[in-house]
């Protein structure tokens, strides 16, 4: 049965308009990009097959356009459409920086860093430089490493903070393995950054570690001033 022959309340487009996007399953959301199925399957069945064979969703959406276009039912047009939608979502979050929005709580900063860093295949160390009201002055990705390590130099973080005339800094890095739990080395570099920034009168607001699940805020765990890990 074609989707147009489904009960109206079950059709993905009508369901989204009536109940909002959160009411849709992953396969239904993906079906809206696909538009139509192939091989005797409707769009939702085709989307479900993509997720079953090339998922989960994160893995599928992390693929580049050249790889996506080779998957069943995709092709160049659909692959480009999907990648463009993901980039629009990323730029929407980045627009907060352009408006100088304030990052006053760990959750808002974690959402920002998770979108920017979670898909990266290497470990990346990044920083948000803030003014006295925690409004964003600049975002920079400062160090890039391997799949499980990135060398971080506190002196360079301080230099960039001084360049932006920042009053405070939030730093973050990703764990490509997916496990966000901070290591002893992560806690050590947090302590070093806190000391280095304090010497020039700046605050380290937080160090956020990004993985597959919820990000970890070292500020929430009380580790910013606790000294190096034992």
Residue spans per domain, the chain: 3-92, 101-217
Q: Using the 8-state DSSP alphabet, how is residue 12 labeled?
A: H
User: Which of the residue ranges 30-39, 119-128, 162-171 would you say has the lowest mean pLDDT?
Assistant: 30-39
pLDDT digits 0-9 by tens, 25-55: 888 888 888 887 777 788 888 888 888 888 7
Q: With 90 as the cut, is the pLDDT of residue 229 above it?
A: no
pTM, entire model: 0.69
Q: How confident is the model at residue 93 (pLDDT cuts 50, 70, 90)?
A: low
Q: With 90 as the cut, is the pLDDT of residue 18 above it?
A: no
Q: Residue 202's pLDDT is what?
A: 96
Classify domain 101-217 by CATH number. Answer: 3.40.140.10
Q: Using the 8-state DSSP alphabet, how is residue 102 labeled?
A: B
User: Mean pLDDT throughout 131-160?
Assistant: 86
CA-CA distance, 124 to 117, in Å (whole number)?
A: 7
Strands 168-174 and 203-210: parallel
CA-CA distance, 19 to 10, in Å (whole number)?
A: 11
């Amino acid at each position: 049965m074609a989707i147009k022959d489904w009960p109206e309340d079950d059709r993905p487009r009508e369901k989204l308009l009536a109940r909002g996007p959160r009411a849709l399953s992953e396969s239904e959301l993906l079906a809206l990009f696909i538009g139509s199925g192939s091989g005797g399957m409707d769009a939702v069945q085709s989307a479900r097959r993509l997720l079953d064979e090339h998922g989960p969703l994160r893995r599928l959406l992390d693929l580049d356009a050249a790889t996506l276009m080779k998957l069943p039912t995709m092709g160049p047009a659909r692959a480009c459409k999907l990648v463009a939608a993901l980039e629009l979502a990323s730029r929407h979050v980045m627009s907060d920086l352009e408006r100088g929005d304030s990052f006053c709580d760990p959750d808002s900063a974690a959402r920002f860093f998770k979108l920017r860093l979670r898909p990266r295949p290497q470990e990346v160390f990044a920083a948000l430089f803030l003014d006295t009201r925690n409004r964003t002055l600049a975002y920079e990705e400062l160090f890039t490493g391997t799949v499980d390590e990135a060398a971080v130099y506190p002196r360079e973080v301080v230099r960039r903070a001084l360049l932006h005339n920042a009053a405070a800094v939030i730093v973050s890095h990703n764990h490509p393995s997916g496990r966000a739990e901070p290591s002893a080395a992560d806690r050590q570099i947090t302590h070093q950054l806190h000391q280095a920034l304090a010497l020039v009168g700046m605050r380290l607001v937080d160090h956020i570690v990004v993985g597959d699940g919820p990000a970890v805020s070292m500020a929430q765990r009380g580790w910013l001033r606790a000294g190096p890990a034992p």
